[in-house]
């Protein structure tokens, strides 16, 4: 069944079959995950991977995440280790991405991982993503389904806004529950968080029982893809703001400023997971309303707040 947009599809058995068929042919589709919507293509296929970079306008040096149904599939392509097993058992499928060494005979196309010897792998939890991954015999290279450096999409309509009819199929799976991208953790040597997410440092520390390095506070990212300007709604953003200025959109936590069209609470109860889930949706909404600037109050630097701070800092960056 089609929605009012000709390339947005409601998920049915028939659409599942069609999605699989087009993916096998090397066509890209946008599918929902629990974090954000992805732009999916066969990670083993050169032409599919090339199409992803081209469509997103993504620099070739920024590697993609390769998505699998489970560890059995993934271990064909990457060398797994103890830390991975521990985290996988606890958090996968779910919003966490692991950087591991690529196996010598891995079929992942080198362009997918920007010719690095490492690969980022993830096991998404969303029912639709899982039902697709279960039925194909290749993993999906899948960045967020947005033009490079824009805000990631959290519903099918957002994907449509980014690419219009340039994607053959956008599978509608409702709003992404997590609402920000997965935690990226490098497990090659000492565990190190390259991109903070909803699964935060303290949760990971509990499982690994070791110190975890974290790359959230400073903006110098080692990961090649950690471009500074990112997640940007396309209007200026100022963070750590104490008070509204009367004309700009003001993003805050709590319910202090009810009934004012300039004010946007990310969570009435100041719940940081809820705030993360509402962040990108709020950015898009504010942009659509025609505001010229966004002010954001200080967001506590704890739990999911670490990831929120990371995203707003980069959205606010103009470099």
Return the residue of 80, 116, 212, 239 that touches ligand TXA, per CB under 6 A.
116
- The torsion angles phi and psi of 94, rounded to 5 degrees, stand at 170, -175
> Judging by DSSP bridges, how do beta strands 294-296 and 237-238 pair with one another?
parallel
Q: Is 29 exposed, middle or buried (0-12, 13-18, 19+ CB in 10 A)?
A: buried
For 259: left if phi > 0, alpha if psi spans -120 to 50, otherwise beta; the answer is left
Q: Does 38 interact with ligand TXA (rule: CB under 6 A)?
A: yes
Asked if residue 214 binds ligand TXA (CB under 6 A), the reply is: no
Contact status, residue 145 vs residue 159, Cβ threshold 8 Å: yes
Contacted by 62, from ligand TXA, Mg ion, none: CB < 5 to 8 Å by type: ligand TXA
**Are 74 and 121 in contact, with CB atoms under 8 Å apart?**
yes
Candidate ranges 72-80, 82-90, 205-213, 220-228; the one touching ligand TXA (CB under 6 A): 220-228
Of the candidates 138, 167, 153, 136, the residue with the CA atom closest to the CA atom of residue 66: 138
Closest by CA position to 146, among listed 307, 238, 284: 284
CB 114 within 8 A of CB 60: yes
Interior angle at CA 225, CA 221 and CA 228, nearest 5? 55
Least Å from the CB of residue 114 to Mg ion: 14
Kindly state the number of chain residues that form the binding site for ligand TXA, as judged by CB under 6 A.
Answer: 29
Query: If binding is defined by CB under 6 A, does position 45 make contact with ligand TXA?
Result: no
Q: Rounded distance, CA 67 to CA 74, Å? A: 8
- Burial class (CB within 10 angstroms; exposed 0-12, middle 13-18, buried 19+) of 235: middle
Which residue lies nearer to ligand TXA by CB, 182 or 265? Answer: 182
Does the protein bind Mg ion through residue 35 (CB under 5 A)? Answer: no
Phi, psi of 144 (to 5 degrees): -60, 145
The DSSP secondary-structure symbol of 165 reads G
Cβ 248 to ligand TXA shortest distance, Å: 28
- Residue 109 partner contact from Mg ion, ligand TXA, none using kind-dependent CB cut-offs of 5 to 8 Å: none
Binding mask 136-175 for Mg ion (x = CB under 5 A): --------x-------------------------------
Q: How far is the CB of 262 from ligand TXA (least distance, A)?
A: 30
Residue (287 or 311) nearer to ligand TXA, CB: 311
Q: Find where tokens 């960056």 sit.
A: 317
Segment interacting with ligand TXA (CB under 6 A) among 79-87, 114-122, 245-253, 258-266: 114-122
Determine the residue with CB nearest ligand TXA: 225
Query: What minimum distance in Å lies between the beta carbon of 230 and Mg ion?
Result: 7
Contact residues for Mg ion, defined by CB under 5 A: 144
Contact residues for ligand TXA, defined by CB under 6 A: 33, 35-36, 38, 62-65, 97, 99, 113, 116, 118-120, 122, 124, 142-144, 181-182, 184, 194-195, 223-226
């Amino acid at each position: 069944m089609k929605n009012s947009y000709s390339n947005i599809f409601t998920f049915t058995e028939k659409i599942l079959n069609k999605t699989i068929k087009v993916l096998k042919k090397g066509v890209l589709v946008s599918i929902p995950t629990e974090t954000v919507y992805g732009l999916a293509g066969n990670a083993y296929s050169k032409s599919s991977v090339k199409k992803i970079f081209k469509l997103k306008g993504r620099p070739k040096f920024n590697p993609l995440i390769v998505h699998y149904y489970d560890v059995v599939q993934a271990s064909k392509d990457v060398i797994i280790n103890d830390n991975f097993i521990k985290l996988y058992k606890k958090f996968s499928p779910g919003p966490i991405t692991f950087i591991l060494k690529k196996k010598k005979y891995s079929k992942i196309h080198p362009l997918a991982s920007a010719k690095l010897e490492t690969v980022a792998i993830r096991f998404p939890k969303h029912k639709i993503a899982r039902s697709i991954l279960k039925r194909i015999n290749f993993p999906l290279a899948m960045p967020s389904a947005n033009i490079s450096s824009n805000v990631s999409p959290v519903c099918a309509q957002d994907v449509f806004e980014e690419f219009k009819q340039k994607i053959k199929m956008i599978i509608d799976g409702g709003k992404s529950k997590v609402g920000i991208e997965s935690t990226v953790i490098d497990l090659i040597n000492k565990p190190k968080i390259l991109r903070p997410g909803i699964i935060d440092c303290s949760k990971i520390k509990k499982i690994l029982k070791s110190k975890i390095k974290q790359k959230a506070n400073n903006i110098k990212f080692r990961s090649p893809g950690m471009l500074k300007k990112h997640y940007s709604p396309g209007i200026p953003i100022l963070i750590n703001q104490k008070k509204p200025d009367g004309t700009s959109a003001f993003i805050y936590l709590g319910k202090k400023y009810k009934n004012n069209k300039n004010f946007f609470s990310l969570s009435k109860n100041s719940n940081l997971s809820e705030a993360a889930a509402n962040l990108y949706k709020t950015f898009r909404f504010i942009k659509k309303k025609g505001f010229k600037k966004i002010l954001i109050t200080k967001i506590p630097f704890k739990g999911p707040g670490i990831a929120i701070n990371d995203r707003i800092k980069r959205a606010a960056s103009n470099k």
